[in-house]
Amino acid sequence: MSASTGLTSDAGSSAGGRKGLVLAAMICAVAMTFIDQTIVSIAAPKIQSELNLSGTGVQWAVNAYLLALAAFFALGGRLSDTLGHTRMVVIGVIVFAGASGLCGLTPHGSAAQAWIIVFRAVQGLGGALMYPAALAIVVNTYDLRSRGRALALFFGIAGGLTAVGPVLGGYLTEWTWRGIFWVNIPVALVALLLIAVARPKTQFRPAPIDWVGVVLIAAGVALSVFGFQQSHVWGWHNPLIGLSIAMGAALLVVFYRYERGRSAPLIDVAIFGDRAFLVQCVILAIAMAVFLPMFFFASEYAAVSLGQNTQKSGITLLYFFIGFVVTAQIGGRMLDKFGAKRPVVIGSVIAAVGFYLWASKVTSLDLNQLTWAIIVSGAGMGMMVGPSNTDAVNRASSVSYGEATGITQTVRNYASSLSFAVLGTVMISVFQARIADSLVNDQHMSRAAANAAAEASTHGAFSGGGSAGSGGSGGSGGGSAAAIPHFVRYDFAQGVQYVLYIMAGLMALSALVAVLGLRGGVQTAPAGDSEPEAETVSGGSAA
């Protein structure tokens, strides 16, 4: 690259034969972030008991990670494009692993609560620095015609690890809850070794960081997500919930207006003028409104309605993963051959059908009747999530892949937080109403007493990773079907049924948006972009 272009190549670029090694290194790096989205909730009851945390404290031990992850994705994407993708992956892995180790070393006593919350947030920061850079490296490594298959592996394995989290967390917690954090350290060491051997090659453009933009978007996302998270604890009637969400949304509007026309913005908001990018962001928002909340509601259903322990409820989610990982490869090949529209539309339709079938069978309280519906749901999601994400990132230039990833990940996390808040409210409302009816009709309680008992039984549901109205037999993993009254199991299933029907509707909406908003055909590379194989290493560039 010439100095006049302002582009720099990461030192020590690898040959084309190292592509598979680069992909393996990036999957290994991001594996920690996906596992940690679900693994800690499983151990929350033991963490709370052993460290004597308050209910709010254990809730934030879970949520601080997700909040920091969502708030700093945009910064991570921008830093990777300006300082170098490989550098930011290494920094992110080290920060994440270091924070994980410190979480596992949380001391007993008065400092425990602040300690684990702070270092959970640092974990989230490390993940936000790492993930956009890792995805940018994969995109830079593979040319446009082979990215679909490469990223199908990336998203397929990463998505599957989200399902592995509860299973792994269940087994590690039997040993010690600290193990769910320490397991990240050997994974990080393997990732760093693979990065050192693969020596990924990417382009980046040194530029100043828009710190005002960082503050605006981080505060906007954090306030909004905080409001969504706390809605389960404080209730939607609390004025602070609406105020937090409104202030966050207002800051995001200010951020958008501030970024327009800046010479070195944190996010080049002009990218939203690309119709395909904007449509794919909408589709990803809809899909993530289903994907991450699904893991929680499915595991809670398995624990409460099916009475499964932690390990078995986690294994139930692997049925979803079976469908997901298989069709992720099909979707990637379809993207390379036909473009994004076909796999996104077909996958969304399959997912809508799967969630509808899942909902229709969920009150049977029989896992055997649900298995195929769960697999079909996973198959639909697997086919469309990767192509949608890949097509969005492909719309950016080769020196802006990190930025584009930061945008898509911010959208995904924002949407999943909003969805979880809304779906959690729906779930609790239905469950509470059904419990009250059962207490009146079956237990012959007065309506006033039944309503009070139902409200008490569902109070705090979804607030800290435990179970809803199960008498402690859900998230903690110690329940059995015999220990939970049948009417409670059935009433909880009815609440989950409403949630699954809404998810089916959302995936149908995703299909409609794709049909109307996307154009068919294989995408061409942005003007001026060179394919990775044609890049030459620059030893003395403008940086």
The dihedral sign for the CA sequence 164, 170, 175, 180: positive
The continuous run of DSSP H or E covering 116 comes out as helix 112-141
Q: Are residues 63 and 144 in the same domain?
A: yes
Token pair of 208, please?
Answer: 């100043």
Which residue bears the tokens 């084309």? 16
Opening angle at CA 455, ends 450 and 460, nearest 5: 155
The continuous run of DSSP H or E covering 203 comes out as strand 203-204
- Tell me the per-residue pLDDT of 284-334, one tens digit each, with 9 for 90 and over: 999 999 988 888 888 788 888 888 766 666 667 788 888 888 898 899 889
The dihedral sign for the CA sequence 109, 110, 113, 114: negative
Q: Are residues 431 and 476 in the same domain?
A: yes
Backbone angles phi, psi at 145, to 5 degrees: -80, -10
CATH number at residue 161: 1.20.1250.20
Q: Are residues 175 and 217 in the same domain?
A: no
Range of 257's domain? 210-265
Q: Are residues 254 and 199 in the same domain?
A: no
The continuous run of DSSP H or E covering 8 comes out as strand 8-9
- The verdict on residue 530 lying in a domain is no
- The verdict on residue 2 lying in a domain is no
Among candidate residues 341, 371, 374, 342, the one with its CA nearest the CA of residue 356: 374
- DSSP 8-state symbol, 472: T
Among candidate residues 311, 309, 317, the one with its CA nearest the CA of residue 474: 309
The Cα 218–Cα 398 span in angstroms is: 25
> Count of domains in the chain?
3
Q: Which amino acid is at 534?
A: A
The Cα 138–Cα 197 span in angstroms is: 15
- Tell me the per-residue pLDDT of 152-189, one tens digit each, with 9 for 90 and over: 888 777 767 766 666 777 777 778 888 888 988 998 99
Q: CB-side exposure of 95: number of CA atoms within 13 Å?
A: 24
Q: Are residues 221 and 354 in the same domain?
A: no
The Cα 2–Cα 542 span in angstroms is: 8
pTM over 0.85: no
Predicted local confidence at residue 535, as pLDDT: 35
Calculate the alpha carbon distances from 182 to 14, 443, 475 in Å.
31, 47, 21
Q: Are residues 224 and 307 in the same domain?
A: no
- Tell me the per-residue pLDDT of 71-97, one tens digit each, with 9 for 90 and over: 888 888 889 888 888 999 999 999 999
Position 379 pLDDT exceeds 80? yes
Q: Are residues 227 and 299 in the same domain?
A: no
Q: Are residues 410 and 314 in the same domain?
A: yes
- The verdict on residue 468 lying in a domain is yes
Calculate the alpha carbon distances from 143 to 84, 148, 195 in Å.
19, 10, 20
Average per-residue pLDDT in the chain? 81
Do the Cβ atoms of 245 and 227 come closer than 8 Å?
A: yes
Backbone angles phi, psi at 9, to 5 degrees: -105, 140
- pLDDT bin (cut points 50, 70, 90) of residue 499 is very high
Q: Are residues 172 and 219 in the same domain?
A: no
- Tell me the per-residue pLDDT of 277-288, one tens digit each, with 9 for 90 and over: 899 999 999 999
- The verdict on residue 249 lying in a domain is yes
